[in-house]
Amino acid sequence: MSIIRGIGKGLMEAVEDIRPRALVEGGIEQIQAMYAEDRENDQVKLANTLATSEVLLSDAAKEISKINQRTKLYNRVAQNHGDDVANYLANNKVFAMYDNTNAAEASIYKDIENQALDAKRQLAFMSDEDIAAISNPYLADTKTALYAQKDNILASLNSLENIPDKTGAVALRIADVDRTFAPLVDAQTTGVGLKTVPFSTGMTNVARQQNVYADYTTATKLGIDPTDAAQMSQYGFNPISQNDLVRLSGSYDNLQLIPTLQMVFQDEFTNEINSALYNENISTADVITKYVGMFNDLVSNPNTTNQTSITLMEIAG
């Protein structure tokens, strides 16, 4: 019994040595240490989130600037030439070519105008199905990705709402997000596939000749009358005046032979015509007249044996 009594007395003395105050003070210190660590982690999270959002917003601002520039050009082409033309150029990434250019706006518009005129000639030979395939809303996927990025940035910033922010940096950054994405514009279609517009009054004589020739050759390939307004407008072309056609070819008889000259002399004729079209000192009418003479010589001399005469016989056959 004395042994048991001795053990009990020892246990009670040990318990008495653990004072309630020591328990409380030890717990508070531990909790304070935990809070201090949490506060430190919160501030690290705050700093990291703000730094990351700053980089993401900077990248988004650059992307939005590019999108707006492209969309501005898209809307201009759609308004002037029709949705199909704008979609064709967009599908061929033409608008993206001007992302980092230092060219003057007037120069860009002039270049885009030429691209639009050529696009109509390409569209003339495309099926309705092919045209429909390139008619998706312009840059829709890119904008969707950007808006998703915006949502992610805001979600990260909003997750900081319970962290003390004495400087108000989070609220300012949220305002930056709204300000960064506010200028993002949308493509504006017109509901009209092709529009017929006259050549620009500022177009040079050389450029006019180039377009007259291109429209004429396109019309003949389509089997339509290049002087007929109704037929030409179906493809977004202006009818070509008799004066323009005679100025181009030298005479009405020469004009009728252009498709034949293209088939008989092929690249030789095409290359020389193109040189004349881009050179004010060379007349397309003179080039065509020369090849008409060459063609007449071939017709009058059937014994000539060369590739050109073989082509001529194939056409005649």
Ranking 4-13, 164-173, 182-191, 210-219 by mean pLDDT, the lowest is 4-13
User: Could you give the angle at the alpha carbon of 239 between the alpha carbons of 235 and 244, nearest 5°?
Assistant: 135
Cα–Cα dist 101/82, whole Å = 25
Q: What is the mean pLDDT of residues 72-101?
A: 95
For residues 239 and 311, membership in a common domain is answered with yes
> Residue 108 domain-assigned?
yes
Residue 31: pLDDT band with limits 50, 70, 90: very low
What's residue 298's pLDDT? 87
In a domain, 8, yes or no: no
Does residue 309 have a pLDDT over 70? no
291, 232: one domain = yes
- 201 pLDDT above the threshold of 90: no
3 occurs within a structural domain: no
Q: What is the domain count for the chain?
A: 2
pLDDT value at 246 more than 60 = yes
Are 212 and 255 members of one domain?
yes
Domain that holds residue 245: 205-316
Q: Are residues 56 and 168 in the same domain?
A: yes
- Residue 114's Cβ-count burial label (10 Å; 0-12, 13-18, 19+) is middle
Residue 159 lies in a domain: yes
126 and 227 fall within a common domain: no
> 181, 214, 232: which is the final residue of a domain?
181
Same domain? For 53 and 165 the reply is yes
- Whether residues 212 and 169 share a domain: the answer is no
Give yes or no for residue 266 having a pLDDT over 60.
Answer: yes
Considering the domain architecture, whether residues 171 and 212 belong to the same structural domain is answered as no
Look at residue 205 in the predicted model and tell me its pLDDT.
86
- Pull the structure tokens for residue 201: 């009054």
| Residue 18 predicted with pLDDT over 70 | no
Q: Is 313 exposed, middle or buried (0-12, 13-18, 19+ CB in 10 A)?
A: exposed
- Domain end call among 127, 148, 181: 181
Q: Is the pLDDT of residue 235 over 90?
A: yes
**Together in a domain, 53 and 157:** yes
Under the banding of pLDDT at 50, 70 and 90, the label for residue 11 is very low
The reply to whether 27 falls in a domain is no
At 40, is the pLDDT very low, low, confident or very high (cuts 50, 70, 90)? low
Tokens standing for residue 286: 């003179």
Domain final residue, candidates 166, 181, 196:
181
What pLDDT, on the 0 to 100 scale, is given for residue 23? 47
**Distance of alpha carbon 117 from the chain centroid:** 18
**Whether residues 215 and 282 fall in one domain:** yes
Our CA angle for 71, 174, 39, nearest 5°, is 145
- Residue 203 pLDDT: 85
- Is 130 a residue whose pLDDT tops 60? yes
Within 13 Å of residue 121, how many CA atoms lie on the same side as its CB? 18
165 in the same domain as 67: yes
pLDDT tens by residue, 132-176: 999 988 999 999 999 999 999 999 998 887 777 667 888 899 999
Rounded Cα distance between 99 and 112, Å, is 13
Q: How far is CA 126 from CA 59, 190, 228, in A?
A: 38, 20, 21
pLDDT for 36 equals: 47
- Say if 31 falls within a structural domain: no
Structure tokens at 88: 């064709």
- Region of poorest pLDDT, from 153-167, 172-186, 212-226: 153-167
Start-end of H helices in 159-241: 169-181, 205-222, 229-233
- Are residues 176 and 55 both part of a single domain? yes
Residue 15 lies in a domain: no
Q: Residue 200: pLDDT above 70?
A: yes
The pLDDT of residue 108 is above 70? yes
Residue 114 in domain: yes
Compute the average pLDDT of residues 183-212.
89
pLDDT beyond 70 at 291: yes
Q: Higher model confidence: residue 315 or residue 223?
A: 223
More confident residue, 187 or 304: 187
The fraction of the chain above a pLDDT of 70, given in percent, is: 81
